[in-house]
Structure 1
Amino acid sequence: MSSESRAECVVEGLVPVRRPIGGRVPRLPVAALSSTGTASMTYGIAAVDASGRVSERGVLRALGWRTGDRVRVWCSRNAVIVRSCVDGELAVAERGRVPIPSLLRERCAIRPGDRVLLAGSAEYGVLLVHTMSTVEVMLAQHHAACNGQESGEAL
C-alpha cells in the first residue's frame, strides 16, 4: 500500500461518515485480543533516579515490599531481576525505592531519568525491570508473530 493511500485511510478513519438516519453502522476491523485469564503480574512505569533507584507504589504494594526488606539484584539478557531474599545484599530504600547497582545499569543500558517498565510477581517475590527499548522489541516481535491473524490491515 502506498504512503498516499495509507494517509487516505487514516483521514477516512478520522472523518465521520454521513449516513442516513437509522442506517447501520459498519464494523471497523479490530485486532484479535487473546485473554490469558487473570493477570499474574502487577505493572508500572517509573523513572530511574540519579542514584539508580526505581519506585512505583502500586507494584511495591502488590509485592508487599517495605523499607529495609532485603533483596538480591542481578541481570538477565534483557532485564534487571530483583528478588526478595532474607540474605540479600541490598535493601529497599525509604519510600519504596529499589536500588539497581551501577554495573547492572551499565549492562542493561539504564541511565538516570530513563523510564522503565516494572513487572512484579507477588507469587514469586520478584520484580523485573525492563527498558522501554526492550519493551518496544518485545511488542514488535509479538505483533510480527500475530501478523496475518488480525482482521484489519495495519497502516
Structure 2
Amino acid sequence: MPALPARLCPPAITDAALLLWMALPARCGRASAQHLLRALGWPPQHRIDIQPRPGMLVICSASDGHHQVGGRGELLLPASARQMCRIEPGQPVLLAAIVTHDLLVVHPISTVVRLLADLHTHLAGIGNER
C-alpha cells in the first residue's frame, strides 16, 4: 500500500480509528462524505488542505486551507488533484477517515483494485512456486 508522508503517517491505526466510505464523485469533483466528515468533526465551511500524493489525496484540517467542506457535507476535489491521482469521472473512490489524526484519505478505485489484487496474489502464493 502506498505510504503516507512521514509527517502525516500515524504510528498505528486500529479498526475503531479508521472509518471507510465509498463515494462516487460528480463530474465537478463533488463527493458526498457526510458520515466521515461528522466523525472527523468537520462542519460545513471547515477549512481543509488537499495534498495530492501518488495514488491518493490526503486531506487534513487547516485554518488557512485553500479549500473547505461544502454546505451539505461534501468535499469538492479539485480537477488538478483528481488528475494527479488518476481519479476518473464516474469511477468510485474509497474514503478513509483516520479520526485520531484528523485526516481523510481519498483512494481512486484503481488503486484499491491494484492493492487488493497484489494482496490476494500474495496470499494465494501465486508466483511463488519453484
TM-score normalised over the length of structure 2: 0.79
The counterpart of 1:77, out of the listed 54, 59, 66, is: 54
Q: Equivalent residue for 2:35?
A: 58
Task: Name the aligned partner's letter for residue 54 of structure 1.
Answer: A
C-alpha deviations, 1:90-109, integer Å up to 9, x for none? 11111111121111111122
Measure the CA separation in 1 of the matches of 2:88 and 2:70: 19
Residues 80 and 37 of structure 1: is their aligned pair in 2 closer, same or farther, counting only changes over 3 Å? Answer: closer
Instruction: Look up the SS of the partner of 2:15 in the other structure.
Output: coil
Q: Which runs of 4+ in 1 moved over 4 A?
A: none
Task: Name the aligned partner's letter for residue 130 of structure 1.
Answer: H
The structure with the largest strand share of the pair is: 2
Give the unaligned 5+ runs of structure 1.
Answer: 1-35, 149-155
Give the unaligned 5+ runs of structure 2.
Answer: 1-12, 126-130
Residues 87 and 133 of structure 1: is their aligned pair in 2 closer, same or farther, counting only changes over 3 Å? Answer: same
% identical aligned pairs: 34
Measure the CA separation in 1 of the matches of 2:122 and 2:97: 25
The counterpart of 1:97, out of the listed 51, 60, 74, is: 74
Q: Which has the larger radius of gyration?
A: 1
Residues 108-127 of structure 1: matches in 2 within 5 Å?
A: 108-127=85-104
Measure the CA separation in 1 of the matches of 2:30 and 2:102: 18
Instruction: Look up the SS of the partner of 2:82 in the other structure.
Output: helix
Residues 1-155 of structure 1: matches in 2 within 5 Å?
A: 38-148=15-125
Task: Name the aligned partner's letter for residue 42 of structure 2.
Answer: W
Residues 63, 125 of structure 1: 8 Å contact kept: yes
How many aligned positions are there? Answer: 113
TM-score normalised over the length of structure 1: 0.67
